[in-house]
Chain A
């Protein structure tokens, strides 16, 4: 019976193989394009709600606010790609923030890498539990999250001290050529993530482990090692979110990561990744994160009760899933294959 990592329905494996054979758009590309299209539509429509929406400054606000979710989604997406789930993200964001501010006196060059290494170390432990001890990812990361949070609480005695390293403040607060530095960072990070996932052997191995751990093993992929690295990378990216948040608000608090746990999963899934692993693309996650943040700005400015706003938020997640589900791809392919000459 299946335990631990890399467990998914066999039909989608066949589907993927089938998809590679046929030329034209892949399902991933369609989903990614659709989600960015949805973002643009939303931005245009939002002008009806407030004239300030859809402007360049609105766009900048969205990009800066979504940068946290994009980086967190990168790690979460990789873990989900291997068929797992990372519930320690919220606590590790806090750990990253607390580590870089309390070590801030050492200077950016020491504090930030050290914070990321600490976080990656925690991730490695989660990865070890999942890959070697065969503990279900859900439980392993949840338990690690509780442990890390408690350690942060004990270490800071409830109130973190220190201020963010200079480099983190510069990243989140300064402008370059008229645009916030964070905007360049988001674009660079998205490209980096896409490159890592699609153009490196590590990325392909992660996908292989997610598609079918046993087959990957037979093909010479050391599945356990890949899994551990994935959890370490997820923790490091969560730690980076902590550093960025510390820079954004100049300081850390213990609950700074809380809101990114469920939203990071939502961003990844809305971005077209399968929660069962093996399928997904980081650019989709980027789109998912931007979509959720855009929605956040729009929903907030609706002049209705919080209850209604919450209801709308939930409905939109379901609607986004409805619009972006797999059948969409199938339909488009049916349409294109019905065209003469194909």
Chain B
């Protein structure tokens, strides 16, 4: 296989390809697999807890999942380009405290806050991107440094939890539209749609190509450095969005707000079918993966698993989910080879 087709193939693996048999193609898609896992878990949850099927339960699940889903989407973009971005925790903390210290009322204020979060996240992403793609530092360590700096900055802005987030954000974004559609869920859906459009751009193809094989991408004319930088900026903006949605949910600021996200976001990406070797996966799978992790808490609660051993089940389910999706991918790849 020459490099050019390899790159094209890497991109095709995720964007809808036309040649493979539909069932196999669907089953090899991480997002579909994790979607099935999600539905199964939701079924178990509903069996144990009938109120799971109310609009309220669903919308509170969506509200819970939205920040992690956006954070997972961000780390996925970087993972796709074969990098690692720990700054997610720092950006979320920083945007969260900024929103709590400088609340802006009304729809205009809410949208301005959103713009600020996206820009701030993007700017921090740009720093990461420059350090990784131009200065050539190792992504895991340099983004760790950036994360620590952001956390320090968050502490300087707010030295103890407090402040408040404007009502338009904290009530409006956690509400339900038309009595059945959780706003936060709609926001996630919008991000997924935007990602679908983004996949058609050269930049998206470039990100997948760089992640799959940097040299090949370079040879086929991809501007590797610029593409990497763009991936980090996009990721940073998504973390900023995650911080924004977290503020909507907690309605307050906390300088340590981002900490729990650091491992969870990567776990969500992994069970969503994104390969840590780069070039394979997508943010939709990661977002459903994030929703699955949040749902898991509910399922374990409703199943009455002893609280000491909750983690044990979470760990085992995480491994099982990966094995399961790996199995389906292998099966479908075998089919493809024939």
Contact = CB atoms under 8 A, between A and B. Distances in A.
A17 interface: no
Given A266-B144, A307-B153, A317-B148, A143 B316 contact: yes
B145 A143 contact: no
A103 to B, nearest CB: 20
A147 B314 CA distance: 8
Q: Is the interface of A mostly helix, strand, loop or mixed?
A: helix
Nearest to A261: B263
Interface in B202-219: 212, 214-215
A324 to B, nearest CB: 10
Contacts of A325: 135-137
Interface in A148-162: 149-151, 153-154, 157-158
A318 B145 contact: yes
Most buried by A among B146, B270, B310: B270
A303 to B, nearest CB: 15
A314 B147 contact: yes
B311 interface: yes
Contacts of B309: 150-151, 153-154
Chain A residues touching B, range? 35 or more
B308 A154 contact: yes
B270 A139 contact: yes
Interface stretch (A45-53, A128-136, A225-233): A128-136
B280 interface: yes
B311 A322 contact: no
A275 B138 contact: yes
Interface stretch (B34-42, B108-116, B243-251, B271-279): B271-279
B152 A318 contact: no
Contacts of B328: none
B45 interface: no
Interface string A121-144: 000000001000111101110111
Interface in B250-271: 263, 266-267, 270-271
B319 interface: yes
Interface string A302-340: 000111111111111110011001110000000000000
B159 A147 contact: no
Contact of A142 (B84, B137, B149, B263): B263
B332 interface: no
Given A136-B276, A150-B315, A318-B146, A306 B155 contact: yes
B120 to A, nearest CB: 16
A9 interface: yes
A45 B315 CA distance: 46
A307 B215 CA distance: 41
Given A138-B266, A142-B263, A307 B319 contact: no
Nearest to A2: B277
B20 to A, nearest CB: 15
A1 B215 contact: no
Given A135-B326, A140-B319, A307-B156, A1 B212 contact: yes
Interface in A90-144: 129, 133-136, 138-140, 142-144
A165 to B, nearest CB: 26
Nearest to A153: B308
A171 interface: no
B151 interface: yes
B312 A265 contact: no
A164 to B, nearest CB: 24
Contacts of A274: 138
B318 interface: yes
A321 B141 contact: yes
B142 interface: yes
A129 B138 contact: no
A321 B154 CA distance: 23
Interface of B: 10, 13, 84, 86, 131, 135-142, 144-157, 159, 212, 214-215, 263, 266-267, 270-271, 275-277, 279-280, 306, 308-312, 314-316, 318-319, 322-323, 326
Given A138-B266, A305-B159, 20 more contacts: A1-B13, A1-B212, A10-B215, A135-B319, A139-B270, A139-B319, A139-B322, A142-B263, A142-B267, A143-B315, A143-B319, A150-B314, A150-B315, A274-B138, A310-B155, A314-B147, A317-B141, A318-B137, A325-B136, A327-B136
30 contacts: A1-B212, A10-B215, A11-B215, A133-B326, A136-B277, A138-B266, A139-B267, A139-B319, A142-B263, A142-B267, A143-B319, A146-B311, A147-B311, A150-B308, A154-B308, A262-B86, A269-B141, A275-B140, A305-B156, A305-B159, A307-B154, A310-B149, A313-B148, A314-B147, A315-B145, A318-B137, A318-B146, A321-B137, A322-B135, A326-B136
Interface of A: 1-3, 7, 9-11, 85, 87, 129, 133-136, 138-140, 142-147, 149-151, 153-154, 157-158, 262, 265-266, 269-270, 274-275, 305-318, 321-322, 325-327
Smallest CB-CB A-B distances: 4 pairs: A150-B311, A310-B152, A314-B148, A307-B156
